[in-house]
Structure 1
Amino acid sequence: MSRLVYDLAHSRSGDKGNTSNLAVIAYNDEAWKILKKHLTADRVMKAYAHLIQGPVMRYEIESLKALNFVLENALAGGVTRSLRQDPHGKTLSSIVLSIELPQED
């Protein structure tokens, strides 16, 4: 059995050159524990593998109950070079919300 990140958190994304920044902010303490345990950089890389080259780095912000993912080589060259419909990568945050995580016992 699994649950979606969508059930545990909200997300925002931004860009800097060819790098995308992805914040995942837990709704509560229980969700934070689950996200810290199961939402790994590897799991995020797999979810975005069709769009980015990587690597993906994960940073924990305990005081905000948030994870910050830095997705390198994620924007097809960045806003001034990319031919994508979303060169800033603003819609990338929706993908992380669809990641399935194991259900906690």
Structure 2
Amino acid sequence: MRTVPSSGEMLPAVGLGTWITFNVGDDPVLRDECAEVMAAFFAAGGRMIDSSPMYGSSQPVIGYGLEKLGRPEALFSAEKVWTSSAADGPAQIERSRRFWGVPRFDLVQVHNLV
């Protein structure tokens, strides 16, 4: 476990990244498999899931899994902003938030904003 300096919150040192593996489109079998991965992750004490708009369909797949799992309270949501202008950043974050189905993100990282 590691402590988040600004909040004192304890998080596992390892999170669940979603690049490639959660980019499964609308395939119901693969979406269910991703939800099973998320269930095992939370069961093992995992909390932080990370994604980006650049990861294909990973964001809606995360949202599907979170809904299927009853929106685990343990979730620490980490998202990235990747836009070509600062003006587009807030709208992209809002789209991502809707895909995940969360009220807010715990961490927003600026991946690219040029």
Normalised by the shorter chain, which TM-score bucket?
Answer: under 0.3
Structure 1 length-normalised TM: 0.26
Greater RCO, 1 or 2 (C-alpha within 8 Å, sep 6+): 1
**Comparing both structures, which one devotes a greater share of its residues to helix?**
2
Q: TM-score, normalising length from structure 2?
A: 0.25
